Structure 1
Amino acid sequence: MAETSTKGAVRTVDVADDRGGQRLDNFLLGLLKGAPRSLIYRIVRSGEVRINGKRAKPDSRLAGGDRVRIPPVRLGEPDAGEGPPIAMAERLAEHIVFEDRALLVLNKPCGIAAHGGSGVRFGAIELLRRARPNESLELVHRLDRDTSGVLVLAKKRSALLELQRQMREGGIRKKYLALLVGRMAERSFTVDVALQKSVLSGGERMVRVTADGKDSVSHFQLIERRGGHSYCEVRIETGRTHQIRVHAAHIGHPVAGDEKYGDRDANRRLREQAGLKRMFLHAASLEFALDDGRSPYLLSAPLAPELAAALDRLG
C-alpha cells in the first residue's frame, strides 16, 4: 500500500491489489488506528474522503489501484472520546482462544456485538483493534449480540477473502449448542424453510419465514433432555440473520431465553428455575481449511459458564 503524506496534511493512499473488494469504512478504520467509527462516517459523508477524486460512501467497495484521499484527522478531537475504553478492550482480549499468523479467534461473551453501528457504539472488532492498535484485524463473519462463542477475525487479507469465499459456497462447517423450549418429539430433524429480513416501524429488525425469502437450512440433533427442555447441537448449511432462532421458533421449540422470537412464559420460568438470564445459544465450533486444504482448522469455544450452570440446575 503506497502512501504520500505529511504530518497534519491530506494523505493520498494507493489501494493494494489484495485490498480490492474491501469496504471504504473498514479500510479507513485499519489506517486510522483508534479512530471511532462515527468519525470515519463523518469524514466520508462530508466529502473529505475521496476515491479517485470522487465522493464516496462508507460502504463503497475499493479496487486495487484506487487512490484514496484522507483528510488530516486529530484523534484528540471530541469524536475520539467515543472510542472503546482501553480497560474494556483488554478484558475482551482475555477471551482470545486461538491465534496464529492468519487468524485470531475470540470466545465472544454474550452482550457484546460483533461490530458497532445501528445504535451500538462499538463491538468486538473495535475493542480488539483498540487492544491491538498495530495489527490489521477484520471480521470474517458475525454473531448476534446475545449469542456467545466462536468469532473469527482475519489478520491477513488473503485469509479474509478465502474464508468469505468459503462462507458463500458453504465450505465452512458451523456447530452451535442451544437449549430449546419443550421436549422435541424426534431426536434429529432438519428445518428447510426460507427466511426474509424486515424492519418494523420502530426500526427493529425482524426475520420471518416466507416462501419468497432466502434458502435456509438448519439440522437439529438432540443431545439430552434437561428439565423438560431439549439441549441440542445445531449445524447450519446457511448463515442467515437469526436463522437458528427463527427456525427453532417455527417448529414450536424456540431457543430458551430468546426475547425476540421466544416464549415469554417459558423464559420467565427458566429465569426462576435455572437462573437463565440470557439466550441459550452458543457458537461451539467452526471447521474449515486454508491454503487449498493444506491448513485445516477446527476452532472451538467452551460453553459459557452461565449456560453450563443453567444446564446443571435443570438436572
Structure 2
Amino acid sequence: MKKPMKKTAKKKEGKVNLVVKEETELLDFLLNQKVKSSRNSIKSVLSRGQVTVDGKVVKQFNYTLTPGQVVKIEDNKAAQKQSELVGMSILHEDDHIIVVDKEAGILSIAAGHQKEMTAHRQLNIYAKQENPNNRIFVVHRLDRDTSGVMLFAKSEEVKQKMQQNWKNIVKERIYTTLVEGDVKEEAGKIESWLTENTKSFKVHSSPRDNGGQHAVSHYKKLRSNGVTSLLEVQLETGRKNQIRVHMADIGHPVVGDKKYGSTVNYMKRLGLHATTIAFEHPTTGEVVRFTSPVPKVFYTKTK
C-alpha cells in the first residue's frame, strides 16, 4: 500500500511578505532573509521594481527600514503589471478585493464620459491582463486631491455586499489632515447634518437636524506650529466631503481646500490623507486592516 504523499506548502506567486524586526538597510535585510544569494542579484530585483515597502515600490538599496514595516517581493511578471499603474500602488489583492494606495491628483472614477485615466480605469486594465472578462468595481471613493487607502471589489456581488452593509462591516476609518491655524482642543467631536447644493456641488452643514445626512467626526491633535495643525480624524459616519466640511465648521479648514474656506495652499494639494481602513473581509469575515503612511510633507509643514 502506497503511503499518502505529504502536502507541501505552496508559496503564492508574487506574495512573499517579510516583516522588519529591527532597523536596517533594505539590501542587508534582503540578504539576511536569503531572498537572493548575492548583492548584485538583489540589486537587480530592486532595479526591476519587484520590492515594495508598505505597499510602495522601493529601488534604493540603502533605504532605511524600521520595525513593523512589511517588505514584499513580487515575481517579475507581477512587478511589471504593477509598474504600469500611475499614481497608485496595490497594498493588497486577493480573489475578491483590491486595496490600493492612491496619490493626490488621481480621480477615483470617471464622471460622465470623461476619458481620464482614473484609479478605477487603471485597475480594470490591470485586471484584464489576467483575464479579458475580469472587471473591477468601486466600493468607496476618495476625492481627487485626497490621497491614501481606497477599496475596490472584483465582482458586483462583493461590491453590493460591502456597500449594503458598510456601516456594520467597517470597523475603523482614519484620516490625517493638515488644517489652518492652531487647534486649541487636544481632541473633540463634531456633529452636524449635511446637505448638498446640487448646482454648486458644495456640501452645507447645520448644527440642527434639517433633514440632511447625520455626520459625526472625532479628532485629536497630533502636532501644531501655531500656523497649521496636524489632526487625526476618525469617522463615525462617512458622508461626502464630511471631514472638509467639519474642519471648516470649527474654523480650521483643510489646507488647500479653497471650496471650504482655505486661504493657503502650501502643498499644491489638499491636506487630507486616508490613513487607515479596517473592515470585515466580504468572504472570510475576518477583520482586515490596511494603512498608508502619511505623506512626509504633512509633518514638515507643522514643524
**Quick check: TM above 0.5?**
yes
How far is the alpha carbon of 1:292 from its aligned partner?
7.7
Indicate yes or no: 2:209 matched with 1:209: no
How far is the alpha carbon of 1:177 from its aligned partner?
0.3
Cα distance in 1 between the residues matched to 2:204 and 2:169: 22
Cα distance in 1 between the residues matched to 2:127 and 2:231: 36
* Paired AA for residue 145 in structure 1: R
Once the two structures are superposed, the pairs formed by residues 5-20 of structure 1 within 5 Å of their partners are none
Greater share of helix = 1
Q: Secondary structure at the match of 1:216?
A: strand
Indicate yes or no: 2:300 matched with 1:312: yes
Compared CA separation, residues 168 and 251, structure 1 to 2 (3 A): same
Compared CA separation, residues 141 and 311, structure 1 to 2 (3 A): same
CA deviation profile, 1:233-271 (whole Å, cap 9, x unmatched): 10111111100000100110111111211321xx15xx2
How far is the alpha carbon of 1:168 from its aligned partner?
4.1
How far is the alpha carbon of 1:184 from its aligned partner?
1.2
Match of 2:151 in 1: 152
Cα distance in 1 between the residues matched to 2:164 and 2:216: 19
Compared CA separation, residues 230 and 94, structure 1 to 2 (3 A): closer
CA deviation profile, 1:115-157 (whole Å, cap 9, x unmatched): 0015743321112112222322111111111111111011244
Match of 1:182 in 2: 181
Once the two structures are superposed, the pairs formed by residues 241-252 of structure 1 within 5 Å of their partners are 241-252=240-251
* Paired AA for residue 204 in structure 2: R
Cα distance in 1 between the residues matched to 2:157 and 2:236: 24
Compared CA separation, residues 171 and 104, structure 1 to 2 (3 A): closer
* Paired AA for residue 309 in structure 1: V
Cα distance in 2 between the residues matched to 1:186 and 1:90: 44
Greater share of strand = 2
TM-score, scaled to structure 2 = 0.65
CA deviation profile, 1:52-100 (whole Å, cap 9, x unmatched): xxxxxxxxxxxxxxxxxxxxxxxxxxxxxxxxxxx99923386111112
Answer yes or no: is the 8 Å Cα contact 1:89–1:131 preserved in 2.
Answer: no
Q: Secondary structure at the match of 2:85?
A: helix
How far is the alpha carbon of 1:221 from its aligned partner?
0.9
RMSD after superposition = 2.4
Cα distance in 2 between the residues matched to 1:302 and 1:140: 21
CA deviation profile, 1:151-196 (whole Å, cap 9, x unmatched): 1011244432332133244744210000111111211111110000
Answer yes or no: is the 8 Å Cα contact 1:226–1:311 preserved in 2.
Answer: no
* Paired AA for residue 281 in structure 1: L
Structure 2 stretches lacking a partner, 5+ long: 1-80
CA deviation profile, 1:179-238 (whole Å, cap 9, x unmatched): 1111112111111100001123xxx31100134111011111111113532111101111
Indicate yes or no: 2:234 matched with 1:238: no
Identity fraction in percent: 31
Match of 2:278 in 1: 287
Compared CA separation, residues 177 and 159, structure 1 to 2 (3 A): same
